[in-house]
Amino acid sequence: MKASEMFAALFVLVYSGSYATLAGEGKKEDLECTCENSYCVNDTCWGQICYYTSVHERIDRGCLSSSEQCYVPVVPGVYSKCCFTHLCNANLSMPETTVGKPIKLILLVGVPLLVLSMAVCGLVYWLRTKRQHRPLVEHETSMLKGPCGGDPTYGDIFDEYCTSGSGTGLPYLVQRTMARQISLAHCVGKGRYGEVWRGTWMGESVAVKIFSSRDEQSWFRETEIYNTVQLRHENILGFIASDMTSKNSSTQLWLVTHFHELGSLYDFLQDSTLDPEGCLRMCLSITSGLVHLHTEILSTQGKPAIAHRDLKSRNILVKRNGQCCIADLGLAVIHSQSNDYLDVGNNPRVGTKRYMAPEVLDESIRVDVFESYKQTDIWALGLVMWEITRRTNVNGIVEEYRPPFFDVVPSDPSFEEMKKVVCVDQQRPSLHNRLHSHPILSTIVKIKKECWFQSPSARLTALRVRKTLSKLDQDHDYDIDKLKLDL
């Protein structure tokens, strides 16, 4: 059985178990357990197994529906135990070996160790802030507001787990415990998909996407992919946890990820403009994320190839260092050439009509060939680059933000309206004259045109786009260095 099939089987077992428990549907739940977390309705709950977890001294007690959910590898700061008798988790706590000994040891070695660790922490903090401030200094654009810094960090717990397990995710029980320790602060986005909230976990900001019940397949798919595929990449939205809970007898589906305060690329472009270097940095980072998704890596820490199928500016987030990361894997397809495996999922959702490639609109796409899905991503990548270049200032000229095909279809266009424009009339977004006069932007214009060929196989690959943009980036750095020397 392949890893992802094994996960799918386990996944159905684990989550369908939760469903039965949550909905109270005819499943034999014969064990009463102490319930102590923010989701408990009563002091006790019913399940197959009782558990106790402590994640950085925050305690969670409750019920589980399958023993697979108990798996938690040994990691500092995390203690977990499952038990199988009536109210057996009521008096569980961190054992003496985990709590008492280290405290005695700390007291014994005491002050010198504390002083030493404070000095080391201070040094590490100083080095970190120094490193985090570098990217914006190097690529300073007056257009990017907000504090400097790279990716958010969420404590050492991620570093501890990062290399364990097959996917990007923490063990199931840890994800669940962490998700339940989050306090939601305010809603930052709302749509057909559900809502996105800014929340805090252990004092750090996290994003919580709460899926609408009709989009549960997207939650299952995204959770499956993040938990089975090694997806850590600076241009892919960082995953923290997935959780399914019951509130007032309805199911709540959460996806917890890194929080990016500048929001989506769509939001960012509404009232911010870029200079050509900032534009290149964004386009290159999005392309790098797409190359990582599209590429199958053959090694023990490898990954299958993934096509996104709903790439658009609303599904891309802007980071403080001027790069972007790709979000929303709810519609993604997975392919492994080495294992002769194509998994298109069973999500009834389709991509966003405005960004659909001609072969999707005229239904000529070869749905059994993985390459086809990558080629539709490239079409959408060209449209995203078009949105970015409109907001790029060249010779003091910049255009208003507009979505692709704004001038030829109404808002929320129908499938037929898009098909007429893209397939029958074969129209493409217009490109402002100013773009041809700048070395960076004229190259991006050329790339966009080659992302929009009617014939899918004629389009550029993500790898080819990245190579061209990287070269542009290097040449630009070289020109700047030369300029500095001349000065």
Q: Which residues are catalytic?
A: 310
**Alpha-carbon gap, residue 54 to 65, rounded angstroms:** 19
CB nearer ligand ADE, residue 61 or residue 260: 260
Contact 132, 148 (CB under 8 A): yes
**Alpha-carbon gap, residue 230 to 30, rounded angstroms:** 37
Least distance CB 317 / ligand ADE (angstroms): 5
CB nearer ligand ADE, residue 149 or residue 189: 189
By CB under 6 A, residue 259 contacts ligand ADE: yes
Alpha helices (H) along 147-275: 156-162, 172-180, 216-228, 265-271
Least distance CB 138 / ligand ADE (angstroms): 24
By CB under 6 A, residue 263 contacts ligand ADE: yes
Least distance CB 271 / ligand ADE (angstroms): 16
By CB under 6 A, residue 428 contacts ligand ADE: no
Least distance CB 265 / ligand ADE (angstroms): 10
User: Residue 407 carries which DSSP code?
Assistant: T
How many residues form the binding site for ligand ADE (CB under 6 A)?
Answer: 13
Chain residue whose CB lies nearest ligand ADE:
207
**Alpha-carbon gap, residue 79 to 52, rounded angstroms:** 8
Least distance CB 188 / ligand ADE (angstroms): 5
CB nearer ligand ADE, residue 7 or residue 259: 259
- Measured in whole angstroms, the distance separating CA 399 from the mean position of its chain's CA atoms is 30
> Which residue in the set 218, 223, 264, 352 belongs to the binding site for ligand ADE (CB under 6 A)?
264
Q: Which residue has the tokens 């570093």?
A: 159
Residues from 292 through 331 that contact ligand ADE (CB under 6 A): 317, 327
By CB under 6 A, residue 149 contacts ligand ADE: no
Residue 334 has phi, psi (to 5 degrees) of -120, 140
> Which residue in the set 189, 204, 342, 432 belongs to the binding site for ligand ADE (CB under 6 A)?
189
> Which range in 66-74, 81-89, 260-268, 385-393 contacts ligand ADE by CB under 6 A?
260-268
Least distance CB 198 / ligand ADE (angstroms): 7
Least distance CB 407 / ligand ADE (angstroms): 27
By CB under 6 A, residue 14 contacts ligand ADE: no
What count of other Cβ atoms lies within 10 Å of the Cβ of residue 233? 17
End-to-end CA distance of the chain: 64
Least distance CB 264 / ligand ADE (angstroms): 6
**Alpha-carbon gap, residue 340 to 390, rounded angstroms:** 41
Picking from 65, 96, 165, 143, the residue whose alpha carbon sits closest to that of residue 322 is 143
* Structure tokens given for 320: 């403080």
Residue 360 has phi, psi (to 5 degrees) of -80, -40
By CB under 6 A, residue 188 contacts ligand ADE: yes
By CB under 6 A, residue 144 contacts ligand ADE: no
Least distance CB 339 / ligand ADE (angstroms): 31
> Which range in 222-230, 256-264, 330-338, 445-453 contacts ligand ADE by CB under 6 A?
256-264
Residue 318, SS3 per DSSP: strand
**Alpha-carbon gap, residue 356 to 416, rounded angstroms:** 12
What count of other Cβ atoms lies within 10 Å of the Cβ of residue 362? 14
By CB under 6 A, residue 218 contacts ligand ADE: no
By CB under 6 A, residue 168 contacts ligand ADE: no
* Structure tokens given for 185: 């602060």
> Which range in 164-172, 221-229, 253-261, 428-436 contacts ligand ADE by CB under 6 A?
253-261
What count of other Cβ atoms lies within 10 Å of the Cβ of residue 10? 16
CB nearer ligand ADE, residue 258 or residue 335: 258
> Which residue in the set 257, 285, 352, 443 belongs to the binding site for ligand ADE (CB under 6 A)?
257
**Alpha-carbon gap, residue 344 to 335, rounded angstroms:** 8
Q: Which residues of 33-55 are buried (b: 16+ CB within 10 A; e: fewer)?
A: bbbbbebbeeebbbbbbbbbbbb
CB nearer ligand ADE, residue 13 or residue 263: 263
By CB under 6 A, residue 193 contacts ligand ADE: no
> Which range in 178-186, 254-262, 274-282, 427-435 contacts ligand ADE by CB under 6 A?
254-262
Least distance CB 315 / ligand ADE (angstroms): 9
> Which residue in the set 170, 174, 196, 361 belongs to the binding site for ligand ADE (CB under 6 A)?
196
- Measured in whole angstroms, the distance separating CA 388 from the mean position of its chain's CA atoms is 21
Picking from 27, 257, 70, 353, the residue whose alpha carbon sits closest to that of residue 62 is 70
Q: Which residue has the tokens 């070395």?
A: 439
Residue 435, SS3 per DSSP: helix
Sequence letter at residue 67? S
> Which range in 74-82, 257-265, 402-410, 456-464 contacts ligand ADE by CB under 6 A?
257-265
> Which range in 84-92, 188-196, 212-220, 403-411 contacts ligand ADE by CB under 6 A?
188-196
The strand pairing partners of 61, in sequence order, are: 36, 52
CB nearer ligand ADE, residue 239 or residue 452: 239
Contact 182, 201 (CB under 8 A): yes
By CB under 6 A, residue 37 contacts ligand ADE: no
Q: Which residues would be at the binding site for ligand ADE (CB under 6 A)?
A: 188-189, 196, 207, 237, 257-260, 263-264, 317, 327
